[in-house]
A and B are shown apart, each in its own frame.
Chain A
Amino acid sequence: MTTHLSNQEFVDAVDLVLASDRVAHLTVCAACRAEVEALRAVLADVSQGGDVPEPSPLFWDHFQSRVRAEVQSEAAVPARLSWWATLGSARTFLAAGATVAAAVIAVSLYTGGSVEPGSSAAVSVGETSELLGPEDGFAGLDGVEWGFVTDVMETLGPDEARDVLVPTRHAMDAAFESLTTAERDAFVRLLTAEMAEGLE
């Protein structure tokens, strides 16, 4: 007597694709035949339980809109960065922050804020120090402001510092683009306050 059908062969038997030599076994083995019949009966029951209620016709239009909106919001979320990419991002942010700071300073000077030569103007900023001087008008900053600027400048190379101090329109746009919404809001607040102060 041959061996009983395996699990896979039972499925083949239900599908009517059992190999002929195994069909021969099935014809003589009541136990295997009973198992196949039982499986077919369960399948017949299962086929009764598969109804899916059809959603409203409006649902599909709504669904497509939802997918489109979700895809848009997903695309708006920046991809998770690796640690080295994060470092690069932080550096970019720093450069952007310095550019913004320079813009604030420029606005402050342009709007005629109180400009008193400050002793802190001579603070060394490494290789960038030759770019700065009281004649550049940066002397109007108080100690805290100047400290912030010099801290930022010390982290930048000469080229980056030059970009910060003489930002092109493109660089400004790029810097502003790289800010988050909250940072942009903060920047606008800062800028507005500076301008208001200058007009007083």
Chain B
Amino acid sequence: MGAYTAVAVEQRAGMTAARRAGEATPRQADHLDLAAAEDRVLVAAFLAGSREAFDVIVTRHQRTVYQVCFRFVRNHEEASDLAQDVFVRAFKGLKNFKGDSALSTWLYRVGVNCCLNRLAVKRPATEPIDSMQLVDQRSADPLRAVMRGEKATEVRQAIGQLPPKQRATLLLRVYQELSHEEIAGVMGCSVGAAKANLFHALGNLRRLLQS
């Protein structure tokens, strides 16, 4: 019995809902061009029992999810473990995805929760020395490149000292370029609180970088 079959019982409710909404049934999902399908179609196909739809979701979003996780932990192994955890949780929780936001926003939410949980139980990892020295010595201005690399390391270390929610807000805003509304959705707070978090994150960073 396949794993996807084993959870089919859990997905019946979602499948019924998908059929009611006129979305893809398993038989229809077979004929969909899943790789080109929109996320909402993939979700409906997955809830209707298509395991290929979930594979496409993973393929489509794995890089973004991995990057979010990496920016939290600055470590490839941990980031890949976290990203894997995000998709396993997504697999189990997609039936609860209501489609109010984009799938990517929902995955961000799952990812940030995974990362915050990890940070809550684990000391923040220090950045490995080799990643601090990844400077191309052949560049036109090696000295400048070294200085830029050092600055980047300083910034990353300072970000690593921020309180988790401030860090999450900053990462989502600056690197993932989410709007304040999307960040509020991911963090489960008001837009005002998201902006306040960002303001405090920047203020704390300024102090950390000056010290």
Contacts and interface: CB of A to CB of B under 8 A. Distances in A.
Interface secondary structure of A, over-half rule: helix
A11 B195 contact: yes
A76 B6 contact: yes
Nearest to A47: B174
Given A49-B159, A66-B84, A67-B87, A12 B55 contact: no
Interface string B104-138: 00000000000000000000000000010010000
A105 to B, nearest CB: 30
B135 to A, nearest CB: 12
Contacts of B59: 60, 64
The contact size tier of chain A is: 20 to 34
Contact of A43 (B92, B159, B174): B174
Contacts of B70: 52-53
A51 to B, nearest CB: 7
B134 A53 contact: yes
Contacts of A49: 151-156, 159
B202 A50 contact: no
Interface string A1-34: 0000001101110000000000000000000000
A68 B55 contact: yes
22 contacts: A8-B195, A10-B199, A39-B203, A39-B206, A41-B206, A42-B205, A43-B202, A49-B155, A50-B175, A53-B131, A53-B134, A59-B80, A60-B62, A63-B80, A63-B83, A66-B80, A66-B84, A67-B91, A68-B55, A71-B91, A74-B3, A75-B7
Interface of A: 7-8, 10-12, 38-39, 41-43, 45-53, 55, 59-60, 63-64, 66-68, 70-76
A-B pairs with the 9 shortest C-beta distances? A49-B155, A72-B3, A75-B3, A7-B199, A75-B6, A8-B195, A50-B175, A11-B195, A49-B152
